[in-house]
Chain A
Amino acid sequence: MIPLIDLILLSLIVLLAIAAITVRDLLSAIMLLSAYSFLMAMVWVQMHSVDVAFTEAAVGAGASTAFLIAALSRTVRWEKK
């Protein structure tokens, strides 16, 4: 059961990472990175390192998303071709 959850989480992480670098809408890229961080936190919990998971959820999914959106609000939303 646990290897199955691991497999699902890790494949989702890879998908999200690829999606984040290919998508042209930068706001979507930020949201995909946020989801990536959150799933990564779940992987850390599954590896029994709750402390690292806590940091990942607070910094990766919380603070850095806010920073990236703040930076995006001073530039354009769509990536140029």
Chain B
Amino acid sequence: MNTENSDRGEGKERDVIVDTISRLMVPFIQLFALYVIIHGAGGPGGGFQGGVIFGSSFVLLVIAFGIVNAGDRFPEAINTAFFSFGVYIYTGVGLLCIILSLGVAQYLNYGFLPLPVHFEERRALGMDLVEIGIGITVMAVITEIFFNLAWKREESEEERRGKKEQE
């Protein structure tokens, strides 16, 4: 891996085995990440760990498709929207508890959520909602950090422009 040839995913021969295995593994890793997020309340795991595993599956996508092809599917604007969205879910659920109980309940006191189930079940569901919010945020942040480190979008855009001008 020297600086000149450290590939940006283009022009290098791709190994068929690595390619196929990583492409096949991605959906299973994502399923496992969702399992970890949902079962975080009752066992080991949780929103953070599940989000990290989900983000790692996108890192594997880079191995399968090359960084330019994979990176085009994760635009920075959409990642930013995702990590704000997760925080909004978290704060929204927390604030709903205060607002709907008219200030009786504390922040993130899930029992006061307006769900048509028992008090204990409401707690479990509220916890899952918050975990999903955390998971979305962590997933987007991990993906964005990785793409910002591994790939400069401007460079590949300049390369593309150069190619078009040559043509």
Also in contact, A67 and B56, with CB within 8 A (given A50-B44, A72-B1, A73-B1) = no
Minimum CB distance partner of A27 in chain B = B1
Interface: B49 (CB within 8 A): yes
Digitize A5-41: 1 where CB-to-B-CB distance is under 8 Å, 0 elsewhere. 0000000000000000000000100000000000000
Chain B residues whose CB sits within 8 angstroms of the CB of A54 once the complex forms: 36, 44-45, 49
Minimum CB distance partner of B33 in chain A = A58
Chain A residues whose CB sits within 8 angstroms of the CB of B20 once the complex forms: none
Q: Is the interface of A mostly helix, strand, loop or mixed?
A: helix
Interface: A76 (CB within 8 A): yes
CB within 8 Å of A: which of B114-167? 142, 145-146, 149-150
Contact between A63 and B56, CB atoms less than 8 A apart: yes
Chain B residues whose CB sits within 8 angstroms of the CB of A75 once the complex forms: 3
Q: Is the interface of B mostly helix, strand, loop or mixed?
A: helix
Chain A residues whose CB sits within 8 angstroms of the CB of B142 once the complex forms: 63
Alpha-carbon gap, A74 to B45, bound state (A): 33
Question: Interface residues of B toward A: which range?
Answer: 20 to 34
Question: Interface residues of A toward B: which range?
Answer: 20 to 34
Contact between A51 and B52, CB atoms less than 8 A apart: no
| Interface residues, chain A, with chain B CB atoms under 8 Å away | 27, 50-51, 53-55, 58-59, 62-63, 66-67, 70-77
CB<8 Å pairs between A and B, sample of 12: A54-B45, A58-B53, A58-B56, A59-B52, A63-B52, A63-B56, A67-B145, A67-B146, A70-B149, A72-B1, A73-B150, A75-B3
